[in-house]
Amino acid sequence: MTTAKRPRRSAPRTTPLEEIVTTALDDMKAVNVRVLDVRGLTDIADTFVIASGNSDRHVRSIAERVIQKARAAGLRTHGIEGERDSEWVLVDLTDVIVHVMLPRTREFYGLERLWEGDGASVPAKAAAPRRTKTGARRAAPRAAAAHGARPRPARSRRAH
């Protein structure tokens, strides 16, 4: 009797760019740093680095330090978004995309749940059609995080 062999996962290797980013995050005391390997899930980047800051000024400073360290290493940033509001600053370093957010913003969007493992797919419960009180089928609501949009506020049912 033979048993199927499971492929062994090698220890995750960090690239020099990931080292630069994580060092910059450590220097600025970023909170709850997560490095996600998204190679099999998207073509836009190999790695997402998600970190939190304690205030909007802290978030902005963390992002600025990442940019500063990357440029010092001779790397070019391809895009920087959200610096003005500083609730969520995104730094695009081509192979690594850095997300620095306030904790409440990070919790609201839940990027870790979206991009980890099979989290990129919509959960089965959210995708299944729902039934109304009369038994008719109604389309399931869209998962806002999967589409990158904020949920719409509920409409009032008052007559105008």
Q: Which distant-in-sequence residues (6+ apart) come within 8 Å of 41 by Cβ?
A: 115, 120
**For the chain, what is the mean pLDDT?**
74
The single-letter code of the amino acid at 62 is: I
Neighbours of 156 (CB within 10 A): 7
Rounded to an integer, what distance in angstroms lies between the CA atom of residue 119 and that of residue 127? 13
- Please tell me the predicted confidence (pLDDT) of residue 97: 92
Fold of 16-115: Beta Polymerase; domain 2 (3.30.460)
Write the pLDDT tens digit of every residue in 58-77: 999 999 999 999 999 998 88
Q: Is the pTM of this model over 0.85?
A: no
Rounded to an integer, what distance in angstroms lies between the CA atom of residue 127 and that of residue 142? 8
Model confidence at 133, pLDDT cuts 50, 70, 90, reads: low
